[in-house]
C-alpha cells in the first residue's frame, strides 16, 4: 500500500500472513495458560482484536470458555469464524463497541491498540477495564513506548502507530479500578522474517 492504511484495511490485506508471523508468541501462550488456569468452565471471555482466532480464542474455547471475539477486520473475522467455530466473532471497533453482556469474567487484549492515537489507546484501556466483572481478569499485550503517530513500514504496509509507556499502561489500568498483579517484557522475533523483532509488554490485572 502506498498510503497509510487503517487497521481494518491493513489486516484485511494481511489476513493469514499475520498468523504466520505472530501466531506462535511463546509469552502469549504462557499468558493464556495463566488465565485459563484461573477461569471456571463456561466463563465469559471477550477477546479484543481476535484476529484469525488463533491462538487466543482457540485456547480459551478449548478450555471451555464462552468466547466472544471482536476485530475491525472483516477478513480476520471470517477466518476466525471458520477456524474457531465454538467461539462467536463480530466485526467491531473497541472504541465504539458496546457489549451485550453485563460483564466478562475475563477480557483479553493482545496487540489491538497500536494503530490508534495515544488518547484513544488510553480510552480503550479504560473501556476494556470497565467490561471486567468483579473478580474477573484483564490480560493484555502490546509494544510499549511513549510513541505518538509514528509512521513506519510494517509487514509491507505503511502504518501510523502510537503506544504508551509501560508506566502509563500500569497507571491507566489502576485508574480504571484494576489491580495489576504482574507485568513483564519479552522480545519476540516474528516467524519467517516477516517483521522486525519487537519488545512486548504483558500485563495481568484483576478487578477486586
What are 81-110's pLDDT values in tens digits? 999 999 999 999 999 999 987 899 999 999
- Quote the cell numbers at residue 90: 463480530
Is the model more confident about 164 or about 157? 164
Q: What is the pLDDT of residue 1?
A: 29
- Quote the cell numbers at residue 45: 471471555
> In whole numbers, what is the pLDDT of the chain averaged over residues?
93
pLDDT band at 5 (very low <50, low <70, confident <90, very high): low
CA gap 204, 34 in Å, rounded? 9
Residue with cell string 488456569: 37
Q: What is the pLDDT of residue 3?
A: 43
With beta carbons less than 8 A apart as the criterion, state whether 105 and 137 touch.
Answer: yes
Q: What is the pLDDT of residue 21?
A: 83
Give the pLDDT confidence of 16-55 residue by residue, as tens digits: 788 888 888 999 999 999 999 999 999 999 999 999 999 9
The pTM for the full model equals: 0.93
Amino acid at each position: 500500500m502506498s498510503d497509510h492504511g487503517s487497521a481494518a484495511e491493513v489486516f484485511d490485506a494481511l489476513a493469514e500472513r499475520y498468523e504466520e508471523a505472530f501466531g506462535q508468541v511463546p509469552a502469549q501462550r504462557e499468558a493464556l495458560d495463566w488465565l485459563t488456569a484461573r477461569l471456571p468452565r463456561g466463563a465469559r471471555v471477550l477477546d479484543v482484536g481476535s484476529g484469525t482466532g488463533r491462538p487466543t480464542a482457540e485456547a480459551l474455547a478449548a478450555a471451555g470458555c464462552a468466547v466472544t471475539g471482536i476485530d475491525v477486520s472483516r477478513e480476520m473475522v471470517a477466518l476466525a469464524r471458520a477456524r474457531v467455530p465454538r467461539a462467536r466473532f463480530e466485526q467491531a471497533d473497541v472504541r465504539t463497541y458496546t457489549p451485550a453482556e453485563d460483564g466478562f469474567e475475563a477480557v483479553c487484549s493482545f496487540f489491538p491498540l497500536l494503530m490508534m492515537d495515544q488518547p484513544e489507546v488510553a480510552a480503550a484501556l479504560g473501556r476494556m477495564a470497565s467490561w471486567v466483572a468483579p473478580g474477573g481478569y484483564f490480560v493484555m499485550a502490546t509494544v510499549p513506548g511513549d510513541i505518538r503517530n509514528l509512521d513506519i513500514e510494517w509487514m509491507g504496509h505503511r502504518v501510523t502507530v502510537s503506544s504508551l509507556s509501560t508506566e502509563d499502561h500500569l497507571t491507566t489500568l489502576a485508574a480504571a479500578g484494576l489491580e495489576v498483579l504482574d507485568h513483564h517484557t519479552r522480545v519476540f522475533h516474528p516467524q519467517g522474517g516477516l517483521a522486525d523483532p519487537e519488545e512486548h509488554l504483558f500485563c495481568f490485572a484483576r478487578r477486586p
